[in-house]
Amino acid sequence: MKNSIIALALLASYQAAATPNKDSVWLHRNYTKQEIYIPMRDGVRLYTAIYKPKDTKTKHPILMNRTPYSIAPYGADKYRAFWKTPTMAYLRKNYIIVLQDVRGKLMSEGEYMDVRPYNPNKTGTQTDEASDTYDAIDWLVKNIPYNNGNVGIYGISYPGFYATMGALSQHPAMKASSPQAPVTDWFVGDDFHHNGAFMQLDAFGFYSSFGKPRPKPTTTGSPGYQFTIKDNYQFFMENGTLKSLAALMGDSVAFWKELYQHPNYDQWWQVRNTRSHVQHIPTGTATLVVGGLFDAEDCYGAWELYRAIEKKAPNNNKLVMGPWNHGGWSRGKGDYLGNVRFGSNTAQWYQQNIEQPYFDYYLTGKGDINKIREASIFFTGANKWKQFDKWPPAQRTKKEMYLHADGTLSWEPPAYTSDNYNEYISDPAHPVPYTEDVHHRRTTEYMTDDQRFAARRPDVLTYQTEVLTSDLTLAGPVMANLMASISTTDADFVVKLIDVFPDNFEYDTTVYGTGNGKPYPMGGYHMLVRGEIMRGRYRNSFEYPEAFVPGQITEVSYKLPDVAHVFRKGHRLMVQIQSSWFPLADRNPQQFVNIYKCNASDFIKSRIRIYTSPSMPSSITLPVIGDL
């Protein structure tokens, strides 16, 4: 979502003029479009497009999407190109489709606020996104002829946040919500921060356009920063401090300025964490949380929103995770990502077997929801769907795999040797790139990229197992447990879990197809299965950062988002450790200073040591289950 090029691409696809086909002709013949302002309780009006079936023989459910990205095309005679999207399946079933510009965006009135906090104690004309959803639903069920009184809401990415707010609306007509790749927590894990590290590549590209003020309703968005340097590594090196990025952003983007004023996980961030409020989802509203195993923007959000609802809300809650990038289940086939192939049309399987039956059941009363288990998860490596009664699976066992000073990785704890640590120099002047090659925008494929380029750098530590003699299946979150010392007062830690393919590996094209059609040497491929960064100062608390004592051995433990992957017999498992992931994340000056205000002179080298002795072991905790 939050990479502006993705938002613009989605908008372009909706607005694209399509060559007439049977679906587009059918849609115009069988549906009418209405555009209307719906009043909210405080008098602000939200611009809404309503696609209504002409059929008046039966009553129809309502499926909503509330978005900050535009409900274009505007005009009652201009139809969105639904025939290019999975929404067409619902139109064929005579669903009423409702699209709405959220408060303060595009054609809606009011003032926009990013991840507007939920207020469980609203009175009178007080509003939040949940109340706006409530008021919209209330108007719809009372004013759209031939609706059956059942409403569902869905949204991908930022609209996934609004889908969560829809579940919190508590309107009795709201029967089913599907937050997909949902924004949940922009400091701990989604989009703009991962464990406190600022994800500058996405944030700057997105907010330089999305964050610009809109003084009055409009049908068009704002242009973003006009890059003259098309190499993002070079661009962010030349604008090497967050102060420099702030100068390029200018003074008009309110959220950008607020973000800089809250460098730690204070109350301002905490009230924007949607997971803190899911206990207010009523029993009568079912939830279907959807995400991608390789979602660069909101991988964290899907896993963690599901967990929070499971813990706090007594509703029917289900989880789906497929081998997708951001929103990959709604466009394309989901049969490959980058160089890695999955062997089937996973997007179609999800749409036909999960999402459509889910909304049909709750909104039309048709079908059997029991056919959809609690968790439907695609396991890469084995390339198959599996369903579970809970996630992580009950049969999961947490097992420690230890790092050894000789670069090996094994289930056996380390023994005493003459060397009890490995070390590298982290140099902010030469940060480790997050991917190989030159790119302008952040790639989606980096989540499965070949990591051989990183293994060859002296500032990246690598540890790998012997060749596996049987399959190793992981299902759940991964914990990195590092015993480390640094020569400065702060540093970042990036831990990557990697599947090392056999040297003679190649895909069987009769099973896995041709992928992206670009030949690539898959023999010895280092597939990134999961990677995550931790800003070291937040190792004990996101709210209260702590400096390191130079040279003092310190525990740095943190959770990586869940994995669902099978390391096949004949493969190896590798762990890489580094202290920069550039320009995906901003550089840490490696001093305990305010990074949002520091100068170029504050960036210094740090000697990083990872300890591997019996008394100070470093390990990775893996969620192991038996054969699928």
Q: Give 429-438 pLDDT, tens digit per residue.
A: 999 999 999 9
Q: Could you tell me what percentage of the chain is helix, strand and coil, using 3-state DSSP and rounding each to the nearest 5?
A: 25, 25, 50
Give the mean model confidence (pLDDT) for residues 583-588: 98
Going from N- to C-terminal start, the domains of the chain cover: 4-185+272-388, 397-625
The 10s digit of each residue's pLDDT in 354-383 is: 999 999 999 999 999 988 999 999 999 999
Homologous superfamily (CATH) of 397-625 is Galactose-binding domain-like (2.60.120.260)
- Residue-averaged pLDDT of the chain: 95
Alpha helical stretches, state H, 516-619: none
Q: What is the pLDDT at residue 315?
A: 86
Q: What is the pLDDT at residue 20?
A: 61
Q: 162: Cβ–Cβ under 8 A, 6 or more apart, which residues?
A: 66, 67, 68, 102, 129, 133, 153, 155
The 10s digit of each residue's pLDDT in 51-72 is: 999 999 999 999 999 999 999 9
CB 146 within 8 Å of CB 60 = yes
155 pairs with which residues across the strands?
179
Q: How far apart are CA 261 and CA 267, in angstroms?
A: 12
Least confident of 102-111, 139-148, 367-376: 367-376
What is the chain's Cα-based Rg?
A: 25
State the pLDDT confidence band at 6, using cuts at 50, 70 and 90: very low
The 10s digit of each residue's pLDDT in 503-555 is: 999 999 999 999 999 999 999 999 999 999 999 999 999 999 999 999 999 99
Beta strands 461-464; 572-578: pairing state: antiparallel
Indicate the burial class of 57 (C-beta count within 10 angstroms; 0-12, 13-18, 19 or more).
exposed
Beta strands 147-156; 96-101: pairing state: unpaired
Homologous superfamily (CATH) of 4-185+272-388 is Alpha/Beta hydrolase fold, catalytic domain (3.40.50.1820)
CB 313 within 8 Å of CB 197 = no
CB 350 within 8 Å of CB 329 = yes
Least confident of 17-26, 204-213, 397-406, 451-460: 17-26
Q: Is the pLDDT of residue 12 over 50?
A: no
The 10s digit of each residue's pLDDT in 77-102 is: 999 999 989 999 999 999 999 999 99
Q: Is the pLDDT of residue 16 over 50?
A: no
Give the mean model confidence (pLDDT) for residues 464-478: 98
